[in-house]
């Protein structure tokens, strides 16, 4: 089977690949601005059918209690993705603009292998816990705690790392016994739609367990938050949209998981290798054109070495010219769309208006007439109150901010509505760990450590979200807890 061989994707509803009632919409290559093909454009009626199918599959079949079937289906999907890795890689590079090197990690291969954690967890999980016999209120009682699937899960995902985020929701939700309706971002519909093809052709998932609904209309996805048949919404995206998801879900008091924005800080302490740390910060901020919610985009450095830090960051970032994502050497590809490029340019104008200067970059690359490219940019001369230090840009933009010691560095890092991630570099591991412990964030990289892993929970504090994805904590987001008390003799 050639994935999307006809260059047109379909919806997956109730076990069948079907056309969208709204026709189709185009999906573009952000590096070339060429139309790749079309995706099925779902309407509210299509979403209604998908939710109904998921509801029936949960209520009327044994899916939620058949752990062996769930594990087998997840492993089948994983193997199908492995078998079609070459096709998936080219699709991802073309549709997402993801640099080829990243498809060997979080853009494809990493998430596929992470499905093993979901299947393994379901196999070994303690679904019931025996608390033994006690006599509450004088009544001899045998107590058991059971963990059960939440029910129908609506998963709403963004465009920046579509395979990683789609599978980080589908994997644990399905392994836990839920049925799912996945609504991906309109910018990357194919990355989700190909899962539908693989599910139908290569797995034993029963009809209605997995439903994939692509649409150019964000209101179609919003129906998942509003529909009383949906028990939980798992959303990754902007904080603004996350608020709307929470508000819509409040009407039915459904469970809501939110993984939202970030404005993470990279702290360099005065005993660190300044040039090495700043170079790493610049490299990280340029990767995938800065389109990652946990990317550190505030570089917080000792005031007395500020100019040296700016120079080091600019030397690295200025050498990472945006390039063709099909090439294995490319680090910074295009941003996803003209709309996103325009948004980033608005932030760059605000930096200049507020008194900042560009140590490198600052606009579109002069050598590229097509594609949605932005130069990797280092902004100097601003403090933590600047717009570019407060708001999530989602582009290859790094703002350098001065600090006056460890306590001030922590204050600056925590002076943000977000709390997703952070980095600390110091020549002393204990000192770095002490600073990291004071950061109000969900993940911390200390002296080059890596937190991204299938068994590590990911999520944030404050306006960066509610709950955790991945790891055992992410698996348990998709479970309810039932206390069972049986009278004992």
Q: ∠ CA(99), CA(102), CA(105), 5° rounding?
A: 170
How distant, in Å, are the alpha carbons of 24, 69, 372, 396 from that of 263? 35, 41, 23, 13
* Angle between the N-to-C axes of helices 85-96 and 67-83, in degrees from 0 to 180, rounded to the nearest 10: 80
What are residue 200's phi and psi, to 5 degrees? Answer: -70, -40
Q: Is 345 considered catalytic here?
A: no
Which entry of 197, 259, 392, 469 is annotated as an active-site residue?
259
Catalytic site residues?
A: 259
């Amino acid at each position: 089977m050639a994935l999307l061989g006809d260059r047109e994707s379909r919806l997956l509803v109730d076990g069948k690949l079907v056309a969208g009632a709204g026709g189709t919409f185009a999906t573009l290559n952000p590096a070339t601005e060429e139309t790749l093909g079309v995706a099925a454009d779902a309407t509210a009626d299509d979403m209604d059918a998908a939710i109904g199918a998921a509801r029936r599959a949960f209520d009327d079949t044994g899916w939620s209690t058949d752990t062996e079937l769930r594990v087998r289906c997840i492993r089948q999907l994983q193997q199908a993705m492995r078998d079609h890795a070459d096709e998936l890689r080219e699709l991802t590079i073309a549709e997402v603009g993801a640099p080829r090197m990243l498809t060997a990690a979080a853009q494809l291969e990493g998430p596929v292998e992470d499905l093993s954690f979901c299947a393994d967890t379901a196999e070994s999980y303690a679904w019931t816990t025996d608390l033994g016999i006690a006599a509450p209120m004088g009544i001899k009682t045998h107590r058991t705690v059971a963990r059960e699937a939440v029910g129908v899960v609506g998963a709403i995902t963004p465009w920046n790392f579509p395979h990683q985020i789609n599978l980080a929701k589908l994997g644990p939700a399905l392994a836990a016994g839920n049925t799912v309706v996945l609504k991906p971002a309109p910018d990357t519909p194919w990355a989700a739609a190909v899962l539908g093809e693989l599910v139908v052709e290569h797995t034993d998932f029963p009809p209605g367990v997995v439903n994939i609904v692509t649409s150019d209309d964000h209101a179609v996805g919003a129906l998942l938050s509003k529909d009383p048949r949906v028990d939980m919404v798992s959303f990754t995206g902007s904080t603004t949209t996350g608020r709307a998801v929470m508000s819509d879900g409040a009407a039915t008091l459904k469970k809501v998981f939110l993984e939202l924005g970030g404005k993470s800080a990279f702290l360099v302490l005065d005993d660190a290798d300044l040039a090495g740390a700043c170079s790493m910060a610049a490299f990280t901020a340029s990767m995938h054109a800065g389109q990652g919610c946990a990317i550190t985009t505030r570089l917080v450095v000792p005031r007395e070495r500020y100019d040296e830090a700016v120079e080091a960051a600019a030397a690295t970032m200025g050498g990472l010219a945006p390039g063709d994502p099909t090439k294995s050497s490319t680090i910074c590809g295009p941003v996803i769309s003209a709309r996103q490029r325009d948004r980033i340019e608005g932030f760059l104008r605000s930096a200049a208006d507020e008194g900042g200067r560009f140590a490198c970059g600052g606009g579109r690359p002069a050598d590229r007439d097509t594609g949605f490219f932005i130069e990797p940019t280092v902004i100097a001369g601003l403090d933590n109150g600047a717009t570019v230090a407060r708001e999530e840009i989602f582009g290859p933009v790094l703002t350098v901010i001065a600090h006056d010691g460890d306590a001030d560095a922590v204050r600056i890092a925590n002076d943000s509505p977000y709390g997703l991630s952070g980095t600390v570099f110091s020549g002393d591991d204990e000192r770095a760990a002490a600073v990291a412990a004071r950061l109000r964030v969900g993940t911390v990289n200390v002296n080059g450590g890596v937190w991204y892993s299938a068994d590590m929970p990911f999520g944030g504090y404050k306006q960066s979200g509610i709950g955790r994805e991945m790891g055992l904590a992410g698996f348990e987001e998709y479970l309810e807890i039932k206390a069972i008390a049986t009278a004992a003799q």
